[in-house]
Structure 1
Amino acid sequence: MTDAPDLSFLDTPGLPAAFVAETRPRAHGAGLDLYAYDRVTAGLRSLTEWPDVCRAAADRHRAAGAAAAGEGRTRTAGEAYRTAARWYHLAGLVPHPDRAAAARIAAAADRAMGEALALLEPEAERLVGEGFAGWLRRPAGVRRAPVVVIVPGLDSGKEEFHRVAEALLARGTAVFAMDGPGQGSLAATSTFEPDYHLVVGRVIDTLRACGDVDASRVAVIGLSLGGWFAATAAAREPRLRAAALVSGPYRLDWDGVVPFVRATLAQRCGGTAAARAFARRVDLAGLAAAIEVPLLVVEGGEDRIPGVTNADLLAHQVDGAELLFVPHGNHLLGTALADWLPATADWLTARLDGPLATGPLTPGPLPTGPDAG
């Protein structure tokens, strides 16, 4: 890579403590124990140490899973493997100077999640196609279930959004948690695809061949940069029934984003020049008129990232779109899960004609204070 990003900022004094604090709600949202998170991340002197400490935590849980599996404690083994997958995923959040090492971390997360599902949900199905890889999970006791495709973001992957998947499964909806080009297990062999509707289209084609799911009822939920990918799909893939965007960007300003975001974009796009070009494509102004499916935009009032214009603008530009605004929510709203996730899962289920059909969500701020849930 001739225009590799400058990662010297990883040694900036004070950055480790700030990153640990900023990522803490995200770890909570991914299902990690926050006491364990605090122990693992305590005392970091540089963000270059982040991958190693998170990977060591993952390795411990994976070893515990193997030991439990050897003793026939299947449930315990599966849960340990699932926790390991989450820690491996967290290890990959920091831009890594060694592309091969980053690929090994992503592969470890992928492998651990597969080991977990083999024990906890043996009916889960691995789906792989051009530009995507992931797991199709079906709700227990539901035949011909609709499907929600879960699209990750900038530095994310299919191992992160367990709570989203579980909320949908509990409501009778199947989920396909995926890595797309440049994401998760595909990050080492591909780069971001701005025309993400092509990827989602191939996913839908594949779902049509799967049993016990209804590929005529498919929605998409995109988180962080995945919100932009999901909006692109909603505008250009006519088979989608609905789309939800959580903490998604409306527009990126390359010169305004922080070094961490620029470096991550460069690694996921194949170089700095490619990342600049990609950032110019991230602009929903030209897509708003083409989005005709039901649209929900979920936004946190504390989500302020330099150089990123939030997607709540889109909710005012698409006819019939709904805005679920949580004043105290941060980016990805890991600080306010109860205030958006159940309602969003209900909304998606209803738009797929699921068992919890409801009226529209009330846009605007949710209640705050001790009784807010």
Structure 2
Amino acid sequence: MTPPSPSVTPTVFELPGFLPQFVAGNRSRAIVCGLDPHEYDRVTGGLGTLHDWLPAFRRVGEAYRAAGERYAAGGHVVSAGGAFRTAARWLHCATFPPLAEHARTIAAAREADAAMGRAFGYLDPEAVRIEGEGFAGWLRRPVDSVRPVRVVLVVPGLNSGKEEFHAVDEALLRRGVATFSYDGPGQGVLVDGAPRADHHRVASRVIDALATRADLDTTAGVGLVGMSLGGFHAILTAAHEPRVAATVAVSGPYRLDWAELPLFVRETLTVRAGGAGAAEEFARRVDLAGIAARIGTPLRVVEGGDDVTPGVLSAERAGHEAARGEVLVVPHGDHLLCNAQSEWLPDTADWLTDRLG
């Protein structure tokens, strides 16, 4: 292979040693998403370059999808649902690298979405697909609950999607709260669009849609849980949307500095925003200065002490600026505290459901 010209900035796919760094950096994230750690190690151990990531993960996802079809044909619905769910998770994790051939990422994200729909058909038949302008997601209600029930919106991050945070959904469902995990512009099944720094407008349309349902109680407000960049979206929404009753932001940014961001983050933003100029403008608008102080409802910001990224100012500052804000820091937590889930999720799920009454 001819090395890149010295005058051309290399991509993350060409950086020496980036593949093992990427594999290690995404391991806890993939495990919390639901991938078997041993299988993750086997698959990533066979990668030659970062270019191999998407096709390798996609092959595993397709194998699980085929297993789901076999189980379904034999009438084994629990096994079928589990296989389709695992397929969706592998297909979603296939989309992590910022491929210049964005059509491949779009295709994998759509396959993940379809596989999760098949999974819910067996594992949670009452899950309801709800779509609107700029969003698509799944409403799940707690089993045997007295309806209407309160509801929490789960908002994913930059290269994430609704297939990734089922642990959050399950924690809330077990506590008697409904969840609506959705993809917004530039996320998951909507990755063919550009992310929006005014995501609060999308969240307001989501709340509009949920407010029409007789099985949900939105009159006293909804809850928000934002993950990574979704934490910024959640805090912004809480400042603008009076129907938000309580908010959690996990590993969210307060501000982005484009010039200081790692190459991987800049490339991901560039691919998903549709160009470097649009990506830089998006990053400039990710800024909570003067925003968090406008939030009058409870806000909890959850941060990992080991989650330090150049160019990213932590949303911890927003937790201190909000009138009813608080901050939970787990010193050894990584990004999204995937390596310390038991140290933030149960207590935070209790915190949120308590504030929803």
Q: Smaller-chain TM-score range?
A: over 0.9
CA gap of 1:308–1:119, structure 2 versus 1, over 3 A, is same
2:334 corresponds, among 322, 326, 330, to 330
Matched, 1:175 2:179: yes
User: What's the Cα RMSD here?
Assistant: 1.2
Segment of structure 1 superposing worse, 310-319 or 169-178: 310-319
Instruction: Within 5 Å, give how 1:189-204 maps onto structure 2.
Output: 190-204=193-207
Matched, 1:296 2:297: no
CA gap of 1:7–1:98, structure 2 versus 1, over 3 A, is farther
Deviation at 1:66, TM superposition (A): 0.7
Q: What residue number does 1:259 align with?
A: 263
Q: What residue number does 1:95 align with?
A: 98
- TM-score by length of structure 2 reads 0.95
**Conserved? CA contact 1:11–1:48, under 8 Å:** no
Matched, 1:34 2:37: yes
- TM-score by length of structure 1 reads 0.91
Q: Cα deviation per residue 1:162-191 (whole Å; 9 max; x = unaligned)? A: 101111111101000000011111111x21
The aligned amino acid for 1:37 is Y
Q: What residue number does 2:4 align with?
A: none
**Conserved? CA contact 1:7–1:95, under 8 Å:** no
Deviation at 1:105, TM superposition (A): 0.5
Instruction: Within 5 Å, give how 1:207-356 maps onto structure 2.
Output: 207-216=210-219, 217-353=221-357
Q: Cα deviation per residue 1:95-141 (whole Å; 9 max; x = unaligned)? A: 11212211110100000000000111111000000010000000011
Deviation at 1:7, TM superposition (A): 6.7
Q: Cα deviation per residue 1:170-216 (whole Å; 9 max; x = unaligned)? A: 1101000000011111111x211111111111101100222321122
Helix, strand or coil for the counterpart of 1:204?
Answer: helix
Q: What residue number does 2:58 align with?
A: 55
Q: What residue number does 1:83 align with?
A: 86
Q: Cα deviation per residue 1:266-292 (whole Å; 9 max; x = unaligned)? A: 122121101111111111112022111
Deviation at 1:26, TM superposition (A): 0.3
1:18 corresponds, among 17, 21, 42, to 21
Q: What residue number does 2:70 align with?
A: 67
Segment of structure 1 superposing worse, 32-41 or 109-118: 32-41
What is the alpha-carbon distance in structure 1 between the residues aligned to residue 180 and residue 10 of structure 2?
33
The aligned amino acid for 1:343 is D
CA gap of 1:145–1:59, structure 2 versus 1, over 3 A, is same
**Conserved? CA contact 2:100–2:271, under 8 Å:** no
Q: What residue number does 1:371 align with?
A: none
What is the alpha-carbon distance in structure 1 between the residues aligned to residue 45 and residue 213 of structure 2?
45
Q: What residue number does 2:3 align with?
A: none
The aligned amino acid for 2:241 is E
**Conserved? CA contact 1:7–1:97, under 8 Å:** no
What is the alpha-carbon distance in structure 2 between the residues aligned to residue 177 and residue 268 of structure 1?
20
Matched, 1:112 2:115: yes
CA gap of 1:128–1:150, structure 2 versus 1, over 3 A, is same
What is the alpha-carbon distance in structure 2 between the residues aligned to residue 184 and residue 309 of structure 1?
25
Q: What residue number does 1:369 align with?
A: none
**Conserved? CA contact 2:300–2:319, under 8 Å:** yes
**Conserved? CA contact 2:11–2:263, under 8 Å:** no
The aligned amino acid for 1:57 is V
What is the alpha-carbon distance in structure 2 between the residues aligned to residue 195 and residue 204 of structure 1?
15
* Structure 1 gaps, min length 5: 354-373
Deviation at 1:45, TM superposition (A): 2.2
**Conserved? CA contact 2:270–2:279, under 8 Å:** yes
Deviation at 1:6, TM superposition (A): 7.0
Deviation at 1:324, TM superposition (A): 1.0
**Conserved? CA contact 2:236–2:292, under 8 Å:** no
What is the alpha-carbon distance in structure 1 between the residues aligned to residue 317 and residue 61 of structure 2?
39
Segment of structure 1 superposing worse, 12-21 or 327-336: 12-21
The aligned amino acid for 2:190 is L
Which 4+ runs in 1 deviate beyond 3 A? none
**Conserved? CA contact 1:146–1:173, under 8 Å:** yes
What is the alpha-carbon distance in structure 1 between the residues aligned to residue 179 and residue 25 of structure 2?
28
The aligned amino acid for 1:26 is R
* Structure 2 gaps, min length 5: 1-7
What is the alpha-carbon distance in structure 1 between the residues aligned to residue 292 and residue 27 of structure 2?
33
Deviation at 1:43, TM superposition (A): 3.1
**Conserved? CA contact 1:30–1:160, under 8 Å:** yes
Helix, strand or coil for the counterpart of 1:305?
Answer: coil
Helix, strand or coil for the counterpart of 1:293?
Answer: coil
